[in-house]
Amino acid sequence: MSTRMIILNGGSSSGKSAIARGLQTVLPDPWLAFSVDTLVDAMPERMRSSDEGIDFAEDGAVSTGADFQVLDAAWAAGIAAMVRAGARVVVDDVFLGGAASQRRWRDAVGDLPVLWVGVHCDSAVATAREAARGDRPHGMAALQATLVHEGVTYDLEIDTTHTAALACAHTIAAHLG
């Protein structure tokens, strides 16, 4: 079975969402794109700043509680089910737990062929993008720039510091063959 799932992991403001949109443009077949931000936005408002849900601290730190983790596991299992049903999917995630986050995805996808892509970006560049966006706590990009890659193994690693998202999408597409 050919690869029908691409998981992009990188810190906040590293360019994952733009790469996912670029992949939808350059890949010949239709691919759905899902972001962990979509999951967070779908949660009840009360879970977006709680110990049991997800909390974004003023310094950019992110913590998740038990209720978030249950929904996050269900989200991953649901996306894997869509791939098993025939969809092609790009996932844009932030592995706050590094290797443990990747294990959660590995458990959800089982034997599905997945292309694991590390999306790196220099902390200073990601911080500048974060400031320009204005929709993230200041400091999140710097905190996540290396944290999300700790202990994670990839099939392909790209760096968006000086490379446009569409060029990165082309690199990923070429890797798929």
**Residues in Cβ contact with 151 at an 8 Å cutoff, skipping those fewer than 6 apart:** 98, 99, 102
Q: What are the residue numbers of the active site? A: 37
Q: What angle do CA 130, 12, 14 make, to 5 degrees?
A: 85
Which parts of 85-164 fold into alpha helices (H)?
A: 99-109, 123-133, 140-147
C-alpha separations of 17 from 7, 10, 25, 122 in Å? 11, 10, 13, 17
Q: To the nearest 10°, report the CA torsion of 10, 11, 12, 18.
A: -20
CB atoms within 10 A of CB 32: 14
